[in-house]
Amino acid sequence: MSATSSSEPIGTDAGTDGAGAADATAATARRRAARRPSKPDALLAAAVDTARAGLLEVVPAAEIGEYVGATPDAERLVTHRFVAHRPGYNGWHWYATVARVPRGKVVTVCEVGLLPSENAVLAPEWVPWSERVRPEDVAAEEAAQAEEAERASLRADAENGRGAEGASDEPETDPDADAGPGADATWPDGAGTQEDE
C-alpha cells in the first residue's frame, strides 16, 4: 500500500500528538469561510415570487409588503425579506429562505418567519428581578401602602362616628350611672335590685 492511499491526511504524521490534525481542521474552516458566496445564487436571487408564495401559505396577503432584498446565507441558500404590515410589528420584515440542490433548477422554500430590521421597535433588554428592583422602589411602595392604611383607618373612624382625633361626637357617660338609684351595678337595666326581693 502506498503512502498516498493511507487514511491519514497528507502532510500529517501518525506519530504526532494531534497538532497537525488541529492545523488541518483550521485550514478546512478557513476554506469553508472563503467559499461563502459574496453574492447570492442567481437562480435563488430571482426567486422572489417563490419566496412570496411560501409566505402566503402562512401569512395573510395584506400583511406582506414590498420586497426589501435578498441576502446570501450559504452556497445555494438565500433569504428574501419583505416589509411586514402586521399590527404591533413596526419595522419588522417577513423572510423566506429558499434553496436548491447542486446542479438543480427547482427552488424550494425552506423556512419563513418574522424578524426585526435595524429600525424595528423592540422590547427593552430583559433585566433580572434582583437587579431591576432598587431600594428606592421598595421604599416608595412601602410609603404608598402606609398611606393607604392610614386612609382606611380614617374612613373606618369616620364611619364609626369618631372624629379625626378618635373622640366621639357624643359625651361619654358612665353605664353604671344610667341604672338609676338602688340598681345593682352588675345587672343591666336594674335587674336584681333590692326592691325585687
- The helix/strand/coil state of 169 is coil
DSSP per-residue letters across 107-147: -EEEEEEEEE-TT---PPPP--HHHH--HHHHHHHHHHHHH
Condensed to tens digits (0 to 9), the pLDDT of residues 140-155 reads 778 888 899 999 888 8
Coil, helix or strand at residue 50: helix
Q: Give the amino acid at 44.
A: L
CA distances from 8 to 11, 18, 173 (A): 9, 12, 111
**Tell me: the pLDDT tens digits for 106-136?**
999 999 999 999 888 888 888 887 777 777 7
Region 63-90 average pLDDT: 93
- Highest mean pLDDT among 51-55, 117-121, 157-161 belongs to 51-55
Q: Using the predicted structure, report yes or no on whether residue 9 has a pLDDT greater than 80.
A: no
Is the pLDDT at 182 greater than 80? The verdict is: no
